Structure 1
Amino acid sequence: MTATAAFDNAAEQAVLGAALLAPDTLDTLGETLTAADFYRPAHATLWEHLTSLRALGSPVDPVTVGAHLATVGDLDRLGGAPYLHTLMQAVPSVANASHYAGIISGHAQRRRVVQLGHRLTQAAQTGDPTTALAEGYALLGDQPTPSGWQVPVPLGDKRHLPEFPAHMLPAWVASYVLAVAEFTQTPVDLAGSVALAALSTAAGGRAEVEVRGSWREPVNLYTVAVLPPGSRKSAVFACMISPLLCAERALAERMRPVIIEAELAAKVAGKAAEKAANVAANAPDPAVRDSLIADAAAAAMHAEGIRVPAKPRLIADDVTSEKAASLLAEQGGRLAVLSPEGGIFATLAGRYSGTPNLEVFLKGHAGDMLLVDRTGRPSEHVEKPALTLGLAVQPDVLRDIAGMPGFRGKGLLARILFSVPENTVGYRKIGADTIPHEVTEVYTTSLTALVATLAEWTDPAVLPLTRDANERVLDLEREVEPLLAPSGAWGHIVDWGSKYVGAVIRIAGLIHLAEHLRDGWGKAIDADTLDRAIVIGRYYAAHALAAFDDMGADRTTQHARTVLAWLTRTDTTTFTKRDLLRALKSHMPTTADIDPVLSLLELHGYIRPADPAPRPATGRPPSAAYLVNPEVHRPAATLTALRTERRSA
């Protein structure tokens, strides 16, 4: 069971609705429930407001609550006034509110048990059993940590997301991913996501998975990893895609004689057509002119029919939509946009043209026919475009793209597999092990072989599923469908969730082809491969929830995360409001910006006011001071070390 599996959205709605219908229930429910017990961040925030209003003696009815939420800026974030009425309608019986609260509390405890397992494992790996026990008591009993602080409540997103399950990839890919992550001291998530993009580059457009009936999924993916500046994104990209650049050069060299021959043939045919046209134009005898014109027309058609192949291209970087469409037409509908930066998003939003143009990237993922108009040449139809996207972007870019016109509404964000790893900067090991030569050699040889095997396919190879594999897909569909309901856990990202099963199938296709480098096109995808793809899919589902939460976060929450990052980066244990204003003036220029942020961080248990300093007889009064929860400085745990046997080898 995963930490996200234990929740009951209907019970959460029923408790909140009961509190709105019968505020007296808050007096008893507040003794057993806290905001941290709610799974959905919006429900947790609303519970905080309801209990706070009740404690202040204010009315707790939909009108008053709605006005209060609007005043503090949380109304739209929680679903608007209509959602308050939805909550009241979701209550089967107010009398059963305590029963619903028990369901919520039970699920919260289950999530804590799962979280306890992860954190106990992390603490045990440090070799400090005292720390492990303290972590366990703090989580299970919700008791204070040894420092006297409570474990803080996450700011809407989950602070400890799952790590990329590299072991689910084929062995030659997993070994290299782990080695690159160790050498660069970066989260394994980054190398893992780029590895999937590399496999998609090699196989995209050259194979598709036949699920059942007319349902087929191409094997190209869009992956985006989110990491701050200085995270060595470029170094990871260079390692992961260098074999693709070598393969691209090899394909170009192989095609060079063919291109030269075609160019020469086209030039000769063009000259012959021009000469035939001149002869026909200068013919003195009308009787033979018609025949000469016919010969000239035939020569011109022959010259026009000669196609000079384009130089093979696997990868582009920061291209416009128009250029991407042109390259897709030249390359038989196959192309990858791989970059350690996110500039492509601004380009798609209209940085140069002033008008958003997403069609190529929407159709390039779905495989829908694309009409390409190019200057000086006839229009071309790309029957089944297969575009790969592999990017690493900064957190600010992630938040910006949510507001770019059409990105959410037209479905571009729904096509992206987001990875939001924990930042390892500040915890990196100096002098990390280099990538073993044999690991690099196997990765390079294998990825190059996959490119070469599939390079000549014009029509995609069809990869069927075994009967057991198809049953896995059906089980996955049954699991996902309830999550997509308006009240489901994925109800707020239904656009992304609707493409989730298809994404898992695409990942399965890539794993299959990477396991069978030279004959994967002739084999069916088995159940084990589907199971491995599902594990990777669950990873991306958890990270998608965090990514969309971050994209939809209000300004106060974004600022609070900035403050937390500053506290972590500077190892600050105490600070004053003046310190914060001075350090983060570019983010929060006034005290009015800081006050709601400090209130939010205090509410979530990250900070608390320090005892006020004595007021001096003269001069300015001291700035308000705060203490920092030691949990803020708990080390990140996303680095994946090489296994002992590989290190000793």
Structure 2
Amino acid sequence: MTTARPLHAVTETTATTAAPEWEAPMPLGTSRAVPPFPIDAFPTWLADHVTAVANLTQTPPDLAGCLALVALSTAAGGRVRVQVRPGWDEPVNLYSVVVLPPASRKSAVFKAMTRPIRAVEKELVAEAKAEIESARIGRRAAEEFAARAEKAVLSADMSERDAALEAAVNAAMQVDKSAMPITPRLIADDATPEVVATLLADHGGRIAVLSAEGGLFGTLAGRYSGSPNLDVFLKGHAGDLHLVDRQGREATAVEEPAITLGLTIQPSILDGLARNETFRGTGLLARIMYSLPVNTVGNRISRPTPAAPEIADAYDVRIRSLVRELAEWTDPAVLVFTPAADDLMADLQDEIEPRLHPVTGSWAYLGDWGGKQAGLTARIAALLHLAHNPTSWAGAITTDTFTAARRITDYAAAHALAAFDRMGCDPVIDDAHVVLDWIERTRPTSFSVRELFTAMNRARFKKVGDLTPALDLLEQHGHIHHTPPPERRGPGRKPSPTYYVHPSHRAGGDS
């Protein structure tokens, strides 16, 4: 629980009215300190580029760092697997979500980190044009031949009809076999789950969904369909068989789907995720590597020193090489752990397990995410191995690579704890979110506790006093400010306590 701190001064204007001088409100659940991204866990060429992009855009290094992992995942997802030990192997695709407020220059970072992938995508499209055009002409010729064969059946006499019918059937089957090649695609934006499933089926079982705006969560929550549709994203992380139904066609089986997610979302989106029971109950939130970096807005410099061009060039060459090398693979490469690296993995598993105990574990409320930390570490170790060896993957994943991956997932664990705090795992925080939702919906300048209680669900708040902890927390975070009630004059009920609302939550207000 966040401790109280003075957030604003109060100026008395009358005996019964107070007008606070507001500071910016703190988001709920942000009391937990989070570590910076361990950039030096990357090989030099990747660390230098992440540092350069963060400096040039004046953004937290966490964003470029997470997107560096996403770029590696986009290259290797569906094309590489990692085997920790016999009986335990993992795909290497990642789901990454970075939480940043608006105007944080997210798009510039996405552009810098995905540029080589988009360049390869354009090259693949250009190379496929001749094949696609040839297939189009061939299919049109087959269709015309089939049409003539069908007409021949109608005009044939009885002695020739069987042979004509057989020829027409064979011609129709030839049309069916002449499927059109698909224009290559590596990256999608905020696509619906149905579109993502189709892209998986069309592009060898893998696709990356990368977006600086993170509207995908709104889509998943049912903005367009009316109900959450998470199946493809659950299976696309685990690599489980997914059947893609298409109108007028047989279902396509995607044997080992691999989706990469690289998203940034606003804090307000994160605040509501865990309250969507489907997101938490299905395990989608447990599959995500979270990052809640310290916001740089207000501390940025206008003319940062540009990095040497060869830093970006080295990044582009390495990522392009990796994407091109793996683009046409069908059978995945398998990266294995050395016995010593496996020993370190076992140590990590032994550390994690007590934290997950449902009664005594410090991660009891985070057991779904904590139970996947070891698997996340294995995936990141494989990606770092590829980053160290982008053109030659000989050799197994070493202890040094595992240790670097462990540093990143220790970072991820701390940020996951902060993220789940913000998402309302603490019941008082969750109650405060309910009250704040009402404030943002109704946009009052002030409200009385009695008025609030009347609007609340009795299943959650059975008596007026049940609101007190949530109101205290909201006041501590600067969203509301209690003002003394007016003096009671004569008999009657005591006036209900009144709270001013921060201007950013009022009708027509701004922060």
TM-score range, shorter chain: 0.7 to 0.9
Cα distance, 1:598 vs structure 2: 7.9
* Corresponding residue for residue 370 of structure 1: 242
Instruction: Indicate yes or no: 2:463 matched with 1:590.
Output: no
Indicate conservation of the 8 Å contact 2:321/2:390, yes or no. Answer: yes
Query: Does structure 2 retain, via aligned residues, the 8 Å contact 1:160–1:422?
Result: no
2:49: which partner in 1?
176
CA distance in 1, matches of 2:369, 2:69: 18
Query: Is residue 2:141 matched to residue 1:268?
Result: yes
SS in 1 for 2:280: coil
Q: Determine which of 362, 370, 386 is the counterpart of 1:489.
A: 362
CA spacing shift, 1:595–1:494, aligned 2, 3 Å: closer
Q: Which residue of 408, 412, 421 maps to 1:536?
A: 408
Amino acid in the other structure paired with 1:264: I
Q: How big is the shift at 1:289? A: 2.1
1:349–1:355 contact (8 Å) kept in structure 2: yes
Counterpart of 1:209 in structure 2 is 82
Residue 377 (structure 1) shift:
2.5
- Cα offset for 1:553? 5.7
How has the CA–CA distance of structure 1 residues 314 and 267 changed in structure 2, closer, same or farther, with 3 Å as cutoff? Answer: same
In the TM superposition, residue 445 of structure 1 has moved relative to its aligned partner by 1.2
Native 8 Å contact 1:334 1:385 kept in 2: yes
Is the Cα–Cα contact under 8 Å of residues 559 and 588 in structure 1 kept in the other structure? no
The 2-side partners of 1:236 and 1:403 are apart by: 30
Deviation at 1:367, TM superposition (A): 0.5
Matched, 1:517 2:374: no
Residues 179-219 of structure 1: CA distance to partner in whole angstroms, max 9, x if unpaired? 11111111111111111111111111111112222322111
- Give distance in 1, aligned partners of 2:446 and 2:86: 59
Answer whether contact 2:142 2:174 (CA < 8 A) is retained.
yes
**Unaligned residue ranges in structure 2 (runs of 5+):** 5-26, 434-438, 453-466, 485-497, 501-511
Pair 395,602 (structure 1): closer, same or farther in 2 beyond 3 Å: closer
Give CA deviations for 1:595-632 in whole Å, capped at 9, x if unaligned.
86785589899xx99xx9xxxxxxxxxx999xxxxxxx
- Residue 498 in structure 1 maps to residue 355 in structure 2: no
Q: 2:292 aligns with which of 407, 413, 420?
A: 420
Give the number of the structure whose alpha-carbon radius of gyration is greater. Answer: 1
| Structure 1 match to 2:196 | 324
Q: Which amino acid aligns with 2:256?
A: K
**Is the aligned partner of 1:253 residue 2:126?**
yes
Which residue does the alignment assign to 2:218?
A: 346
TM-score (norm 1): 0.63
Q: 1:586 offset after TM fit, Å? A: 4.6
Query: Gapped runs of 5+ residues in structure 1?
Result: 1-40, 49-153, 562-580, 613-622, 626-649
CA contact (8 A) 1:205 1:220 kept: yes
Give the distance between the partners of 1:389 and 1:481, measured in 2 at CA: 27
Q: Hey, what does 1:283 align to over in structure 2?
A: 156
- The Cα shift of 1:274 comes to 2.1
> 2:29–2:424: 8 Å Cα contact kept in structure 1?
no
Residue 240 of structure 1 corresponds to which residue in structure 2? Answer: 113
Which residue of structure 2 lines up, in the alignment, with residue 552 of structure 1?
A: 424
Q: Is the 8 A contact 1:164 1:539 kept in 2?
A: yes
Q: Is the 8 A contact 1:203 1:451 kept in 2?
A: yes
Q: How many residues align?
A: 444
1:160, CA displacement in angstroms?
A: 2.9
Partner of 2:230: 358
Question: Is the Cα contact below 8 Å between 2:120 and 2:323 reproduced in 1?
Answer: yes
1:186 to 59, 82, 89: 59
Between the two structures, name the one with larger relative contact order (CA 8 Å, sep ≥ 6): 2
User: Residues 554 and 523 (structure 1 numbering): CA distance in 2 closer, same or farther, change over 3 Å?
Assistant: closer
**Is contact 2:447–2:499 with CA below 8 Å preserved after alignment?**
no
Larger proportion of helix: 1
- 1:599–1:355 distance in 2 versus 1, CA, 3 Å: closer
8 A contact 1:356–1:405 mirrored in 2:
no
Q: 1:441 aligns with which of 303, 308, 313?
A: 313
Deviations 1:304-351 (A, max 9, x none): 112222111111111111111111111111101101112111111111
Does the Cα contact within 8 Å between 1:209 and 1:506 map onto a contact in 2? yes
Q: Residues 434-489 of structure 1, C-alpha deviation per residue, up to 9 Å, x if partnerless?
A: 24311111111111111001011012111122222222221211111111111211
Q: Distance in 2 between matches of 1:236 and 1:434?
A: 14
Matched with 2:504 is: none
**Structure 1 residue 507, shift from structure 2 partner:** 0.6
Change (3 A) 1:435 1:589: farther
What letter matches 1:444 in structure 2? Answer: D
Sequence identity percentage: 49
Paired residue secondary structure (1:353): coil
CA distance 1:624–1:496, shift in 2 (3 Å): closer
597 and 368 in structure 1: CA distance in 2 versus 1, 3 angstrom threshold: closer
Give the whole-Å Cα distance in 2 for the aligned partners of 1:375 and 1:495.
36
Residue 14 of structure 2: aligned partner: none
